[in-house]
Structure 1
């Protein structure tokens, strides 16, 4: 009977982790933040532009667009907000946009649009983006939006 021999392939990552030198995690994070900084202004402009477009096309003053049923456009605009909201950490803008997408999904499924809830989300996004709220106030806004977006059309 022969003896069992185990073969273990070398793992490059484990060698790098054990190696001397290199960057500390804090240094790597600082370098990543510095690399992202040039994109911050452009991303915030894109976020503000998406919010302005939502307001103009689907806000209270946009009765014609609301009647046209261009809901995919609304969803796409809200997704743009999610895409760039990482540049506003702690603002809860991303969570408000996710709640907005949930609302759009629920309205599309029921084939009945709750424009009052859309208005609430538009106003909340503007509030979270422009007003200096503390974390508890931001959390309260998000909790309220989640309740609004989860409310079924037959319960409204």
Structure 2
């Protein structure tokens, strides 16, 4: 029987990584963030459309819409998470939290959802900026979340 032989194969990537130069991680991160920001307006428009769907659902107030409300709020959280949206992310997450609790308890309270939808609309209209208004809105949403 013959002895096994080991071959070392150098890939193109391994050779390139040994070469001096290249880009630094912080520069790549800065470039990625700048590239992502070019999509912010489209993402916020999608958030506005999702919010309009949520508001229409609130107007109808069907008996069993918990999963739909959760899916809409989760969609807003998903988009808001990619950008610095501060209070928008928090308000949408709060809506996910209360809708999940109401689904689990099998009790639905549309006014709580409506207040979240209105707060989301105000935060979106305000450019998702953190300030006294958004802090007050989020404090109100937290009080709703604690009682539900």
Scaled to the shorter chain, the TM-score interval is 0.7 to 0.9
After superposition, the C-alpha distances for 1:4-42 in whole angstroms (9 at most, x for unaligned) are xxxxxxxxxxxx7xx964434442222102322343232
Partner of residue 109, structure 1: 104
Distance in structure 1 (CA, Å) of the matches to 2:132 and 2:28: 31
Listed one character per residue, the Cα deviations across residues 23-71 of structure 1 (whole Å, up to 9, x for unaligned) are 344422221023223432321221111001000112xx32xxx234122
CA RMSD of aligned residues (A): 2.4
Structure 1 stretches of 4+ with a deviation exceeding 6 A read none
- Distance of 1:88 and 1:124 partners within structure 2: 19
> Structure 2: which 5+ residue stretches go unaligned?
1-16
Specify the alignment match of 2:142 in structure 1: 146
Provide the residue aligned with 1:13 in structure 2: none
Q: Is the 8 A contact 1:91 1:138 kept in 2?
A: no
Q: How many residues align?
A: 131
**Cα separation, partners in 2 of 1:47 and 1:150, compared to 1, 3 Å:** same
Q: TM-score, normalised by structure 1?
A: 0.71
Deviation at 1:106, TM superposition (A): 1.6
- Unaligned segments of structure 1, at least 5 residues: 1-15
Structure 2: how far apart are the matches of 1:74 and 1:81? 11
Work out the CA distance in 2 between the residues paired with 1:90 and 1:76.
19
* Residue number among 85, 94, 99 corresponding to 1:99 in the alignment: 94
Q: Report the TM-score when normalising by structure 2.
A: 0.75
- SS of residue matched to 2:51: helix
